[in-house]
Structure 1
Amino acid sequence: MKYLTSISIYSHSNITFSLLKRLLSTNNKDGNLNLKSEVPIVKGLPIVGTAFSILAAGGGKKLHEYIGKRHQEYGPVFREKLGPIDAIWVSDPADMKLLFAQEGKHARHILPEAWLLYNETYGQQRGLYFMDGEEWWTYRKFLNKMMLVDSNKCFIESTTIILQDVLNKWKMFNGLLIENLETDLYRISISFMVSYLVGGVFEKCKEEVSNDINKLAYSVQQIFQSSVKFTIIPAKTAKLLKLGIWYDFVKAVDESINNANQLVSKLMEYKGDGLLKSMSTIQDVSDNMIKRLVIDFILAAGDTTAYSTQWALYTLGLYPEIQENLRKSLYTTCFWENELLNNILKEVLRLYPLAPFLTRILPYNTVLTNHIIPANSLVIMSMFSSSRNESYFKNPNQFNPDRWKRFERNKYCGVYEPFATLPYGFGPRSCIGQKLAHIQMCSTISECIKGFKIQTIEPVNIVLDLITVPDSNIKIKIHKIQ
């Protein structure tokens, strides 16, 4: 659910202003705090702050570029109020390290308003991402042991079974544009999650749950397509005015949760040896709680890995020489041990971070770049800006997987500060599914490149729709390799 860890700054938030009102207060009892310089402030209007400035710069879809220019003007730390969101914006990896080091085990972040409003309105109890405090930590501890470990060989070997249907379909498009690329990648994402849940019995249950996977892939895609409209009209306003975009979102979420619930119920009957079995061994955890946790994992798997894989295929289609080098290396090295493939994925996730912003609410007073930031401040880390900063990457706007080659003493070829790109976040609230996501993306890219030559027809630009997406449909032509 990586899009949930990014922030739709230009829409309204459920964060209370009590967390923000002392953002830069100097009335702290610790006298040392007053020795620090004040955070540069971008001046704006009452209530709306600088919201009109972002609208003039292209609106929320261009927020990543807008904030990048603000950092150039005001430095690595500044304060700006966009609509109701008053925040400290940070782009220096050294400051990010400090933030993560001091966030504590109950790390706090902010959540999209539409999801919170849906949960509150319909009394929906959700999984790990929507939990806080000790409840969140209790389940996160157990799941860390199960999900943040290397996947077993059986799961890795099942990747060809997962991918075969889609790749067989693509063979019909030899010399043509792939139709419904995004939908196919959604389906692959959910299929991987299903395989991970049931383990070795996936091949046995694959045909029975195929329809369920297709229905769920479609409904999850509808969630994303409906929720991006809240970048124009806040969810709370849409609900209050009874606008269609709110009811479209509700319908998509209802269908996704119902479809996921039906799918998980079927999967639990198979008694496989995957994640579901591991979760069932946790003491005092009911089947209902397991379903809550798993359903959110499945919903999360859809858009994040689907879009990252799409960006990877798009980029390789622009660089045929790198694509050919990868293809040759995959004939001799399996995907999970292929250095070039790993470096390509690192580079894609650097240039196209799914979460262009990460958020934290500070538990303690913290000093960032010689500025004191009081406890309970909302801090937003500008990952898009830092990942394309020449201070941290050589020729930062160039796609160069070789920059990730390691020299002696663990140094990289063209990376001065690897912490400037955090595709899975960091710390206690880092992406719980990062190991699974990495295997899924690497295996999908590997099978696609071994089976087809990929040609990107035209370049696209980056826009923000909760996550980093192309501004138009990606057009990829494939040629089957004989």
Structure 2
Amino acid sequence: MICANCKALRSVANELCAKYFSTTFKVGLSSLPSAITSRTIEDVTGPKGLPVIGTTLSLLMAGSTPKLHYYIDKRHQQYGPIFKESVGPVPCVFISDPKAMRAVFTHEGKYPIHILPEAWTTYNVLHNVSRGIFFMDGEEWLHFRRILNPILLKGDQSWIDESCKPAIDNLIEKIKSQSARYPYIDMEGLLYYWSLEIIVSILLGPQNYIAAKQKLTDRIDYLSSTLRLVFETSSKLMLISTKLAAKYRISRWKQFEKSVTSALFSVADLVELLLSDYVKNGEGLLGKLKGKMTTNELVRIVTDLILAAGDTTAYSMEWTLYLVGKNLEVQEKLRKEVLEVKGKDDLGSKIYLKNAIKESLRLYPVAPFLTRILPDQAEICGYQMPAGTVLILSIFTAGRDPRNFQDPLHFDPDRWNKNDNNSNRMRLASIPFAIGARSCIGKKIAETQLQKTLAEILVHFRVNVLNEEAVDVKLEMVAVPSEKIKFQFSIKQ
């Protein structure tokens, strides 16, 4: 259980930190040596801030929230793998050391607590909305997690593989069509639709989805544009208090509120339609969950799965295509591996393909920060941290740290094949889906759709990136390209 003080601190932390360090696609845990130490959180170094606003002015001068990942990375260079900073009045402890990050998960407790997006929590309270597993805590969260884990993270996952195929085939045809008409393609819109189409196919199962596809196209298309609007309006609220924005009904809040209301209604309506008209023979995720939850619970859980899939997987795929398009030797090696096993549908044997996705997620994790709030006092990185401490794991920094990865900015899928003294540190440093009890419930879905989609694209096309300058990464709720990436797809003969 969490004491009242921890709950109070968590509430404050949510309000002040969520807009910066939230989002979110089990491995063995290892912890730091348990040497006895008298060092406390007060001994953790870091920049001094002003009362109430902390170091917010420094962040603004450094480029504001779109540059937050670089701002924190520079702090780590200045203060080391652990430092303390208050963006607002609540001190947050930032950690980039791989073993220390893993140690955080060993102390997350039975009911891990993470920071939630302030805009969403404000909306949920004002509209009395009960949300899915991402927003749940305590016994409620554990109950639904225990239902979902065996289906989405364990056992035979071939049904997920099969469910991806209709959406991937559709994406390939769209790329062919647009490539014939335009000199380059802006993939963002196509990938939003692709991501949502895969989720709907997974909900129904591939055969049910193929039968219903034509009737669902307009709904998926509308939902795709609606979710993009939610994403855009959310990012505009990152530097202001959403409680004040909602109280005084400023235009940014009203735009966000309208987009979220539309998204939630359209998703709930879609899920209810799928349940009533298209779920057959216990197939797909909905078929597997039916009978384990009430209809209302199913709608809540699945709605958040759909909302979470929209931008995270779409941008992960875009970053992967960007890296492959900029590194043609890697692209040819990937194509050769895929063609060697084509027809066998043996995704498990495509080691270089898996490593390419892993390498892309290392360089461009869509969630550059992971968060936990300590339920009990614990020793982290040699410091005694009290219950309620807000811990921010800087996985963007960890994934680009030369102490963890040789030549860290180089896109090298082969680095994951090495079995040397640094290989374990690499695995500890790159955790884009988090680990532990509250790791990403959609990890297997995301990995499968990224791998299968990249494989099919490379079978059909040669991918080039036409941007003359390197495309930077900026933070708008998730890590997105700083400018439109111009993709050119040449059909392979």
Question: What's the CA shift string for 1:215-259, capped at 9, x where partnerless?
Answer: 111111111011110124332232233221111111111111111
Q: How far 1:412 sits from its partner (Å)?
A: 7.9
CA contact (8 A) 1:68 1:385 kept: yes
CA contact (8 A) 2:16 2:90 kept: no
Aligned mates of 1:165, 1:196 — CA distance in 2: 15
CA contact (8 A) 1:173 1:478 kept: no
For residues 417 and 166 of structure 1, do their structure 2 counterparts lie closer, same or farther at Cα, with a shift above 3 Å needed?
Answer: closer
SS at match of 1:312: helix
- AA partner of residue 177 (structure 2): M
Mean Cα displacement is larger for which, 234-243 or 102-111? 234-243
Aligned mates of 2:49, 2:225 — CA distance in 1: 42
* Aligned residue number for residue 477 of structure 1: 488
* Aligned residue number for residue 21 of structure 1: none
Match of 1:187 among 162, 177, 193: 193
- Which structure 2 residues correspond to residues 112-191 of structure 1 after superposition, within 5 A? 112-150=117-155, 152-174=157-179, 176-191=182-197
Mean Cα displacement is larger for which, 176-185 or 292-301? 176-185
Question: What's the CA shift string for 1:137-187, capped at 9, x where partnerless?
Answer: 111111111111255434423433222222212212337444441111111
Give structure 2 stretches of 5+ with no counterpart: 1-11, 18-35
Aligned mates of 1:416, 1:394 — CA distance in 2: 11
CA contact (8 A) 1:453 1:480 kept: yes
* Aligned residue number for residue 230 of structure 2: 223
* Aligned residue number for residue 245 of structure 1: 252
- Which structure 2 residues correspond to residues 293-308 of structure 1 after superposition, within 5 A? 293-308=301-316
- AA partner of residue 479 (structure 1): S
Match of 2:340 among 332, 335, 338: 332
Match of 1:68 among 67, 70, 73: 73
**Pair 1:14 & 2:22 matched:** no
CA contact (8 A) 2:16 2:88 kept: no
Aligned mates of 2:90, 2:317 — CA distance in 1: 32
SS at match of 2:236: helix
Question: What's the CA shift string for 1:278-310, capped at 9, x where partnerless?
Answer: 11132xx31111111011101111111000000
Q: How far 1:197 sits from its partner (Å)?
A: 1.0
- AA partner of residue 464 (structure 2): Q
**Pair 1:317 & 2:317 matched:** no
- AA partner of residue 320 (structure 1): L
Give structure 1 stretches of 5+ with no counterpart: 1-11, 18-31
- AA partner of residue 153 (structure 2): L
**Pair 1:394 & 2:406 matched:** yes
SS at match of 2:154: coil
- AA partner of residue 196 (structure 1): I
Match of 1:211 among 218, 221, 241: 218
Aligned mates of 1:324, 1:220 — CA distance in 2: 34
* Aligned residue number for residue 266 of structure 2: 259
SS at match of 1:427: coil
Aligned mates of 1:209, 1:74 — CA distance in 2: 52
* Aligned residue number for residue 287 of structure 2: 277
For residues 177 and 420 of structure 1, do their structure 2 counterparts lie closer, same or farther at Cα, with a shift above 3 Å needed?
Answer: farther
Match of 1:54 among 59, 65, 89: 59
* Aligned residue number for residue 384 of structure 1: 396
CA contact (8 A) 2:98 2:425 kept: no
CA contact (8 A) 1:405 1:413 kept: no
Match of 2:92 among 81, 87, 101: 87
CA contact (8 A) 1:162 1:191 kept: yes
Aligned mates of 1:474, 1:366 — CA distance in 2: 44
* Aligned residue number for residue 361 of structure 2: 349
CA contact (8 A) 1:77 1:91 kept: yes
Q: What TM-score do you get using the length of structure 1 for normalisation?
A: 0.89
SS at match of 1:79: strand
**Pair 1:419 & 2:425 matched:** no
* Aligned residue number for residue 9 of structure 1: none
* Aligned residue number for residue 291 of structure 1: 299
- Which structure 2 residues correspond to residues 397-408 of structure 1 after superposition, within 5 A? 397-407=409-419
Q: How far 1:406 sits from its partner (Å)?
A: 4.2
SS at match of 1:474: coil
Give the fraction of aligned pairs with identical amino acids, expressed as a percent.
Answer: 37
- AA partner of residue 14 (structure 2): N
SS at match of 2:51: coil
Question: What's the CA shift string for 1:412-442, capped at 9, x where partnerless?
Answer: 8867431111110111110001001111111
For residues 72 and 154 of structure 1, do their structure 2 counterparts lie closer, same or farther at Cα, with a shift above 3 Å needed?
Answer: closer
Question: What's the CA shift string for 1:21-59, capped at 9, x where partnerless?
Answer: xxxxxxxxxxx7645581113211111111111111111
* Aligned residue number for residue 384 of structure 2: 372
Mean Cα displacement is larger for which, 237-246 or 422-431? 237-246
Match of 1:443 among 452, 458, 464: 452
Q: How far 1:73 sits from its partner (Å)?
A: 1.4
SS at match of 1:453: strand
**Over the residues paired in the alignment, what is the CA RMSD in angstroms?**
2.0
CA contact (8 A) 1:394 1:414 kept: no
Aligned mates of 2:321, 2:184 — CA distance in 1: 12
Q: What TM-score do you get using the length of structure 2 for normalisation?
A: 0.87
Q: How far 1:449 sits from its partner (Å)?
A: 1.2
- AA partner of residue 448 (structure 2): I
Match of 1:457 among 442, 461, 466: 466
SS at match of 2:269: helix
For residues 359 and 123 of structure 1, do their structure 2 counterparts lie closer, same or farther at Cα, with a shift above 3 Å needed?
Answer: same
For residues 259 and 179 of structure 1, do their structure 2 counterparts lie closer, same or farther at Cα, with a shift above 3 Å needed?
Answer: farther
* Aligned residue number for residue 31 of structure 2: none
- AA partner of residue 326 (structure 1): L
- AA partner of residue 192 (structure 2): Y
- AA partner of residue 447 (structure 1): E
CA contact (8 A) 1:221 1:303 kept: yes
- AA partner of residue 451 (structure 2): C
Mean Cα displacement is larger for which, 240-249 or 308-317? 240-249
* Aligned residue number for residue 202 of structure 1: 209
Aligned mates of 1:397, 1:123 — CA distance in 2: 45
Aligned mates of 1:437, 1:237 — CA distance in 2: 36
